[in-house]
Structure 1
Amino acid sequence: MRYSKTLHVLMTDIGETMSPLDHRLAPLQQWTITALHHALTPEVAVPANYALGTWESVSGDASFRRYFRTHFDGRSYIIMDAPPEKESVEPFVDIAQRLLKAGLRAPIIVAQQQEQGFLLLEDLGDEMLKSLLNKAGGQPLMDAVLPVLATMASSCETAGLPDYSSAKLQEELALFPDWYLQQHLGLSMTSDEAEQWQQLTQTLVDNALAQPQVFVHRDFHSCNLHQLPDGDIGVIDFQDAVCGPLTYDLASWLWDRYITWPRAQLEAWMLQAHQQLAPQVDEKCWIRWCDLMGLQRNLKIVGIFARLHYRDNKDGYLEMTPRFSDYISAVLPLYPELASNRVMLDKWLAMVKK
């Protein structure tokens, strides 16, 4: 392999992406050069004049991580920068190995420096399923995604993963009153509302814990799934995986942040998933599991969007709240046991659009 060419990280100039984390760029770049060189040509010394070109910033996520892309010798790679004082890359490395061992297409880790929070990853490309939702239609994507869900549930190891415990589920649901109600709307619950909220919380927690507990990606939506050139589905952003309810990832996929499916379509897909994931479970029970799991997740998301805006100064998330408030309102009338919560939640959620 010749070194007459420069290692290029293309598109966005570093100066356009300046942030408080930019003191990390120089060591990240130097590590990238060394890591790529040793991973690809360990028998050849790194040339003294070997340097990076321009730097392409790849869209980040709702965490403190950020991503860059580099091109070398006709191939591209993704570089993850995760400040260790904010979060460890160890869970990402662990979960990637679990997914790969199960035969799924997670990015291969080419090199790692966990103490600094640097990872060099296989590049799964830019064709997120989000971009195909309207173009390809929902059914072909559901047919492609369902085997991934089934493999994660049946074949991904759960030993050592955090449990999606009652305490964790309650903590997530509390994001709704803490951040959406109090911080965003400036409201506090009355004693009656607090009692109703506690009853709803218990119903949703019981629903989650009644299900088989399996590997859960925990953010399984159209931006975290990529269509690969060979037709496989690539899976990313999996570092928060837990051992939890069987329907959680399915609910994440069905109640998407970018497209709303009709109720009839949702039920058809729930039943399609039922045949692959849990055919032994009664169909009505299965649909209830899915609906209430989706309700738990969507209440949590509304709270998270408010927290991202007010605590983390991340723009763009509050604008997605109305879709999730509609998801919540659509499920409430389907279950008589939620009747006492419906008026309360509908009142609060109506304020999303004001």
Structure 2
Amino acid sequence: MTPPAAAPAFLNTHGWDGAQILPLAGDASFRRYFRVVRGGTTGVLMDAPPQHEDSRPFLQVADHLHALGFAAPRVIARDLAEGLILLEDFGDDRMAEVIAADPARETPIYTAAVDLLRDLHRHPAGDLPPYDMTVYQREAGLFPEWYMPAVGLDVPAGYDAAWAEALAPIAGDRGVTVLRDYHAENIMLLRNGSLGLLDFQDALAGHPAYDLVSLLQDARRDVPPALEAAMLAHYGPVDGAAYALLGAQRNTKILGIFTRLWKRDGKPRYLSFQPRVWDYLERDLAHPALAPVKAWFDAAVPAEKRAVFWEGFQA
């Protein structure tokens, strides 16, 4: 987490001369984050190397969310040629850690997160690309591309066709802003009591059930089934078939992405999440709407290559 070479000059140009640059976080992409401290003022420096990351969608979606009254980090300064953006600092009270420290707050915080989605879904999606069949299929394709060879399996025919059949009823839905990575590690509890949003640069226009799945079938932490059911009822009504379809599609994608992070990017820590993701996927595949996809999985991926394969796995 060495700061980018261009960071001091960038900060000097924008009135943050002499600021400390402290490691804050990295994520599953090439982006890195640093806390910038100057006197009693702090900001967050996002380092998104332009050869790997296009920061323009982040700025566009931030503007969209601000216009709707939601808390995305305010942009203080930017230099897209260097891939540097200085952002408002939302502090350290991330949803996941706050709940871990005080489990009694789990239900009220999840209720607030569902309320935010309910409010967001009252607004049109705006000028965002569609979450359509092309995107669904491209994402689902990460499973045969990365997971199957990693566990020593061939890829039988029929995968794309099974997803096309299952997803057809919802693939044209462009009704709401889909943040796409809305979960407990990307939601901040702000001092004013509202929720701050992070990691929304991949937002698309799609189905309202997707971000509910992202929140309630969280790859990184256990969400008790009773809490999941209560939050779906709180949002209500939710199309159960759409929720299962998008849960299956998302969890299949995640299994591929986490395998890729291990194999290609040298980030094996994500493998520890695979059993949880498999548990979600197995539950989603049990819905009748997933019948063609379940049939493919049953034929192509034996039980010993699913969740059990990753228990105690060491890369």
TM-score computed with the length of structure 2 as normaliser: 0.89
The residue that corresponds to 1:31 in the other structure is: 10
Counterpart contact for 1:170–1:205, Cα < 8 Å: no
CA distance in 1, matches of 2:65, 2:254: 25
Counterpart contact for 1:270–1:290, Cα < 8 Å: no
Could you say if the C-alpha distance between residues 266 and 207 of structure 1 is closer, same or farther in structure 2, counting changes exceeding 3 Å?
farther
Deviation at 1:152, TM superposition (A): 2.5
2:107 corresponds to 1:145? no
Counterpart contact for 2:124–2:175, Cα < 8 Å: no
The 5-angstrom pairing of residues 92-241 of structure 1 reads 92-134=58-100, 135-155=103-123, 157-159=125-127, 161-182=128-149, 184-190=150-156, 194-195=157-158, 197-209=159-171, 211=173, 213-241=175-203
The residue that corresponds to 2:225 in the other structure is: 263
CA RMSD across the alignment: 2.2
The total of aligned residue pairs comes to 305
CA distance in 1, matches of 2:172, 2:235: 18
Counterpart contact for 1:133–1:259, Cα < 8 Å: no
Determine which structure has the larger helix proportion and give its number. 1
Letter in 1 for 2:253: K
2:310 corresponds to 1:352? yes
Could you say if the C-alpha distance between residues 133 and 346 of structure 1 is closer, same or farther in structure 2, counting changes exceeding 3 Å?
farther
Letter in 2 for 1:237: D
The residue that corresponds to 1:6 in the other structure is: none
Partner residue of 2:279 out of 304, 326, 330: 326
TM-score computed with the length of structure 1 as normaliser: 0.80
Could you say if the C-alpha distance between residues 169 and 336 of structure 1 is closer, same or farther in structure 2, counting changes exceeding 3 Å?
closer
Structure 1 unaligned regions, length at least 5: 1-16, 38-49, 276-282
Residues 305-340 of structure 1: per-residue CA shift (max 9 Å, x gap): 011111122231112111101111123234375253
Question: What SS does the aligned partner of 1:294 have?
Answer: helix
CA distance in 2, matches of 1:204, 1:143: 30
Structure 2 unaligned regions, length at least 5: none
Counterpart contact for 2:115–2:235, Cα < 8 Å: no
Deviation at 1:140, TM superposition (A): 0.5
> Of the two, which has the highest radius of gyration?
1
Letter in 2 for 1:224: N
Identical pairs, percent: 31
CA distance in 2, matches of 1:240, 1:60: 17
The residue that corresponds to 1:60 in the other structure is: 26
Letter in 1 for 2:49: P
CA distance in 1, matches of 2:212, 2:225: 15
Consecutive aligned runs of 4 or more in structure 1 exceeding 4 Å deviation: none
Residues 89-126 of structure 1: per-residue CA shift (max 9 Å, x gap): 11111111111111011100011112221111100011
Deviation at 1:133, TM superposition (A): 3.2
